[in-house]
Every structure is written in C-alpha cells, then in structure tokens.
A and B are shown apart, each in its own frame.
Chain A
C-alpha cells in the first residue's frame, strides 16, 4: 500500500504555517492554521477539509516539502468528505479509465506526452516540434490521474498511477516531455511523495520550448506585445518551472504585465471550483482575475493548460484580450502563426 511521505514533525517545527495562512480561500491566522493542521494530522475533522476548494496551492506554499495538500486529500477521502458532487467524480473516474484506446507514435527515447487531450497533436507541430512530433504517447493508459486530487480520490491515483509509469517505461522512453503541467507535476511531486519510482526523465514543455526557441533564435521576430499569463492549478506542483515563462517571453520579445495575481498569488481558471463550490466563488475568482489582467494593460492572455484555455478563453476574449496558448505564441514569434483575433 502506497503511503504518503508526510512528516508531522516538520509541521510542528514550522514557523510560518504558510500552507494554510497563505490559502486564498480560507481565512486562517498562524495559530488557527497550526490548530487545524494538527487536527488534520491527527485524523480529526477540520473545517479545512470541508471548505478547501482544491486549488493545490498549499503544495507550493509549504516550503518544507511536506505535502499538506496531499494530506488534505487523503483525509477528505478517509472521512468521505466530497469536495465536489459524487456524480462529477464518477464521470472523471469512468472517463479516465484505461480501455485500450491509446495511441503510440513512432516512439523514440525522447517522447511527447499528449495526455488524452485531443488538441495537443494539433499544437505539437511545426519547427518547434521538428523531429519529435511523431514520437508521442496519448491515451488513458498514459494519463497521470492527478485530476483526482480535486475529487478526494487519492485511492484512484494510487491504483492507476503505478501502472501508468510502467506503461511509459515499457515503451523504452528515457525522457518524457510533458505537455500538460499535471503530468509533469505528477511525476515530479505526486509520485515521489508516495515513494513511486519514475524510471524516466521528465521535462516540462516550457523548458523544451525554451531550448527549441534558442535554437531558432534567428527566426524570432520580437512580438512586442503585452502579456498576462494564466497559471494553472497544477503548476503549483512544480513551481520551479515558473521562471521559464519569463525566459520564453524574453526570448520572443514579449512583455509580461505587472499583476496582482501572479506567482504564489495567481488565481486559477476556477472551473474546478465552480463544479465543487458553486458559481459564486468561481465567478468572483474569474472576475478578479480578468479584471486584473485588463487593469495591468495586457493585450494577450497566455495559457499553459488547455483546460484553462477552453474554460475561460471565451471570457478572456469578451474582456478584449486575445486568448492564446503559449505554444501558439511561440509559433507567432517564429512566423508560423498570425495573431489571433479577440
């Protein structure tokens, strides 16, 4: 049985209790945070378990690497606390179940992971993906399953993830380039947190794009546009990848606007919050987020996660910003794509 590497002693020693104090959705001061975390550690009930919107952020806030969010998920599941209606979780469980409908390209030692998101093969084209586009894996058999963190279903992750790792390793892949943050976060945070060995290297596609753009430097025409970046919930599992956003923007001559909701203080797309907590919180988060982008003078909203893009792309557009995925933005810089309309 896979056990979470969580050390209660680290929490006791913690001076900041940042995991809960910094939470954007629950109001806790340091003392309250300590008490509630202790309750959670002890397996007692805490309002945190009920009111958590599953934004993943406390995984990033905790500088001790102690996985407070994974513990919350474990405890929610143990107590039968449902962060979202049962039917939504059931839908995900059934939808993501491996059923032999995966596709594997001409896989080499270095391969792309398309999750089972149909838009990825359409994005992973052109010079940026020269020589690797055909080396891909796609399908539920390779799906990281991190989504179940939103539904208090750690058991599903523990059940399916080891097999996923095995499926990928069996293909002889030595380096997996993850096009979805969830995938990267799973292999670099979630799997190690449960002592799962990942026998291949994983690279965040930001890093891949950055390296590729450096190779194509001569073809880059500075975009000279003002960008807001939409950070997804799953990037909280791999905060170290954040600098690549600025690195890429610098390379392509784009300017990131100064925002209130940035980095640790970023707001997610809120569509998962909508399903779990209802429209009131979700609308408020989206309103604040979009107003912040507009106020900061952004012309574009740059997406990392395709689900964020599909969920709020329209809303971004209605606020007068151009929604674009970061891959398309890079393609624009090398002249492979024209600027989208609002």
Chain B
C-alpha cells in the first residue's frame, strides 16, 4: 500500500503536511451551513513545482484535491466532499511584481487581500485593487475564482474581470500560462483579449479544473481622497431608478444598497451608500453636486434624501474591508454566517427585497440585505445574508430552508446564484441549456479526466 502521507511530506516537508485529527477537523468545515466532511490530508505547498508534484501524485492515485484560500466563500466550496487532500495555498504568499505603468500586480496563489492592500499602501500608494468586504485573510485567487466583488466592482466589473493573467497547474500536472504572459513571460497585462480568453476555463469553476498558482490583477488609480454620501429612501420600488441615475453620472466608486431592521435608525429605509473619490476638494465637491443633481427630482418629491453624515460617522462607512459587515456576520454570536448572493438584473431589486422580508418573517430570522452594484449597473449582487448560532440546530435548519427558497426564487426570477452550494449547483444544472451543460462537461472531462478536482462541484 502506497504511503500518501510520506510522499506528500517528501514534496512539502514534514512540517507542512498533516493527517492529524485536529487539522482534518478544521479543514473539514467552513462557517456556513454545509455539513462538514474531513479530508484525509492537508498540505501547504510553497512553490508551483510543489503544487505540480502534489497534483501529479493525486492524479496518479486518483485522490481528490481541494484547493483552499481563506476558506471564506461560506457555501461549502472548500469542504472536501470526498475526502482526499486539501491544498492550503497560504504559504504561496509572495507578491511577485507590480507594474506601475501598465497598472497590474502578479501575486502567488495564497496572497490575501489584506497583504496586497498593505503592500500597495506602503510601496505603491498611487495604486489600489478592488477590495471585497470579506475578512482580510481571504485570498485574491479564491475571490477571483468565485467571481467576487469589491470596492471597484461598480466601476470595473467583477473582481474576476480584473484578472490579467493566470498560471495554472492543470489536474494532469502540466503548468499552463494564460493570457499575455503565455507568449512573453514578463507581461501580465491581459488575461486573453485579443485572443481566446482561456481564463474562463478556471474562473468560476471552484477549483474543479486546475489550481491557480499565480494571478495577474489589474490595479487602479488610488485617489488621494474618498468620501461617502448616504441616500435614504422608504420606497423600495425607486431603488433601480436611483441606481440608474447614480450610475449615469459615472462619478461613483462603489454603490452599496442596505436594508436591515437593526440598528433601529436603519429600520424602514433603504440606505444607499455612494462612495466618491478625488484628488482635491474641488474634484470631490464637483462629484457631490453632480450626484445630488442626479437625484434632485426624487429629493424634491420627498421620496428620498441625502443624510448629512457627520465626520465621526464616515470612517466606518469608508473602511475597507468594512468592519461592520464582519460584525454583522457574527451578530448572533456562535460563529455561523452564510449568504447566498445571487447576481440579479437591476430592475429585480424590489422583488428580491420583498422575498427576503417574506422569508425572514416565515422563518423568524435576523437578517441584513446588502447589495453591491456591478459594472455601472448592469446587474447587482443581492445578499440574502443570515447569521446564526452554530449551537442552535433549529435556527440553522430554518436558515437552510430560507436559503433553499431564496435559491428557487432566484432561478425563477432569472438571477444567477453566486458561489452556489453543491445543492444549488444541481438546481442550476437541471435548468441549464443542455448544450451549455455539454460544453461544461466536455471541458471538465478534458481538463480533469480522473475527476480528482474538488469533486461534487459542478458535477452533472
């Protein structure tokens, strides 16, 4: 019988492999509702070559592999459904290059958003990346793999749209370069265009088609100043129109829409956070006025208005990532948090918020509905977010049911489930155009002939 543990130890060193109960327990669960399932081994490689050797070994022995970043996707995507090896990417934590002129960075597969944020602040203060509101230990790659969204998503699209190249270890062990650097190893400015964009073979696949060991990411100008405006309305049906008017100005960085019953000041209104940036007071002032004017008719009709935000209230609203989001995630205490964040057409917002309220009262849940506008308003992420106490199985069950109903509702409304659970993936697959599904299957079989990569996910 072949000794996988020792073979893994030979690759990564004994300190960086484990089959101990503690590690297996820890790597067998996430903060969400998916039931735990333990891996057999956990490894922490440091180089692409080590990843390659692990993958080759696993492919030869047909052992499942699950790549893991921060493990914060919350929907069970890093829970090894069939055991096997969890590859924790955190030791691959080098920021390899920043190109200030073409504005991109190349990072290793385990670099976290927090590391990149601090690095840029210190070494390249004129550049920034799109920071999500997930805790700072979430990884740039994990976030791109699930098509995450961040502070620059309203302007530039999903964080995955900002990818400018990949290095991937394929399930069969080859190292593959995707994008401009496939032809010239120094240049990571494009992930595909003007040629076939092969990044689509890996982004959105939840680690089922390969392990990303390096990633190029577009960076954007970091303006000297940021400010926040808060628009309140009690008319849910006006929200799509408000967003349309706001995005028409092309003046905003981020637009986040919040609806929640607590704290009491938030009850009964929709809060629309509008972030603006500028290099001078004049620039900010100009933007502020354009934004005011864009919503002037709603203001005059008294259906909505801007809150004067005192100076002491601004820092928490401008903070990246937002501590308030993390605080909400644990508001029930007991470490449970899951949100399904369907990507929905803008005009569907009122239907989704109505559905959320219906679910909340039906299942007696605490909630927050946070939505982020994507790419100038073509769509938005609508978070059915629930926090729970892991020691309360009844509450967990009620949330499971609510999320299930939310998923069904999303599909009915033509929305796309974001980072779907395996159960939700099945729901999607059942409804998918058969020819689309056929392509997905062919890709999967071609890239991962032995089906070792994150099994259970995207399986027809």
Contacts and interface: CB of A to CB of B under 8 A. Distances in A.
B311 A310 contact: yes
B312 A87 contact: no
A99 interface: yes
Interface in A289-318: 307, 310-311, 313-314, 318
Contact of A87 (B281, B289, B292, B305): B305
Contacts of B299: 85, 278
A311 B304 contact: no
Residue of A88, A276, A311, A314 with most chain B CB atoms under a 10 A cut-off: A88
B364 to A, nearest CB: 20
B307 interface: yes
B232 A91 contact: yes
A88 to B, nearest CB: 5
Interface string B306-347: 111011100000000000000000000000000000000000
A84 interface: yes
A86 B289 CA distance: 21
B267 A94 contact: yes
A85 B305 contact: yes
Nearest to B269: A87
Interface in A48-94: 82, 84-88, 90-91, 94
A106 B330 CA distance: 34
Nearest to A80: B302
A84 B281 contact: no
Contacts of A271: 308
B296 interface: yes
A278 B302 contact: no
A97 B305 contact: no
A3 interface: no
Contacts of A311: 308, 310-311
Interface string B244-284: 00000000000000000001111111000000000001000
B234 interface: yes
B234 A86 contact: yes
Contacts of B302: 82, 84-86
Nearest to B270: A87
A86 B296 CA distance: 15
A310 B306 contact: no
Given A274-B306, A275-B306, A278-B296, A88 B232 contact: yes
A99 B292 CA distance: 34
A272 interface: yes
Contacts of B312: 119, 310
A88 B264 contact: no
Query: How large, as a class, is the contact surface on chain B?
Result: 20 to 34
B288 interface: yes
A102 interface: no
Interface residues of A, number: 26
Interface SS majority for chain A: helix
A139 B303 CA distance: 30
B164 interface: no
A279 B264 contact: no
B305 A318 contact: no
B308 A275 contact: yes
Contact of A91 (B265, B281, B289, B310): B265
A279 B296 CA distance: 10
B190 interface: no
B81 to A, nearest CB: 45
Interface string A263-287: 0000000011011101100000000
B153 interface: no
Nearest to B296: A278
A42 interface: no
A144 to B, nearest CB: 18
Contacts of A318: 281
A60 to B, nearest CB: 23
A1 to B, nearest CB: 26
Nearest to A318: B281
Contacts of B304: 85, 87
Contacts of A88: 232, 305, 307
Contacts of B269: 87, 90-91
B233 interface: yes
A340 B304 CA distance: 38
A97 B311 contact: no
A311 B281 CA distance: 16
Contacts of B232: 85, 87-88, 90-91
Contacts of A119: 312
A84 B233 CA distance: 12
A88 B270 CA distance: 11
A275 B305 contact: yes
Given A82-B302, A85-B299, A274-B306, A314 B311 contact: yes
Contacts of A276: 305
A97 B281 contact: no
Contacts of B311: 310-311, 313-314
A272 B308 contact: yes
B371 to A, nearest CB: 17
A90 B269 CA distance: 8
Contacts of A85: 232-233, 299, 302-305
Nearest to A95: B265
Interface centre among B266, B299, B304, B310, by most chain A C-beta atoms within 10 angstroms, is B310
A310 B311 CA distance: 5
A88 B299 CA distance: 11
Interface string A309-329: 011011000100000000000
Interface in B59-86: none
Contacts of A310: 310-312
A313 to B, nearest CB: 6
Nearest to A275: B308
With a 10 A CB-CB cut-off, give which of A90, A91, A276 has the most chain B CB atoms.
A91
B261 to A, nearest CB: 10
A94 B234 CA distance: 13
Contacts of B234: 86-87, 90
A281 to B, nearest CB: 12
Contacts of B308: 271-272, 274-275, 311
A90 B233 CA distance: 10
Interface in A93-136: 94-95, 97, 99, 119
B307 A91 contact: yes
Contacts of A272: 308
Given A85-B305, A87-B269, A311-B310, 13 more contacts: A82-B302, A85-B302, A85-B304, A86-B302, A87-B304, A90-B232, A91-B307, A94-B264, A95-B264, A274-B306, A275-B305, A311-B311, A314-B311
18 contacts: A85-B233, A85-B304, A87-B268, A87-B269, A87-B303, A87-B304, A87-B305, A91-B269, A94-B265, A94-B268, A99-B264, A272-B308, A278-B292, A278-B296, A310-B312, A311-B308, A311-B311, A313-B311
Smallest CB-CB A-B distances: 6 pairs: A85-B305, A310-B310, A95-B265, A87-B232, A271-B308, A94-B264
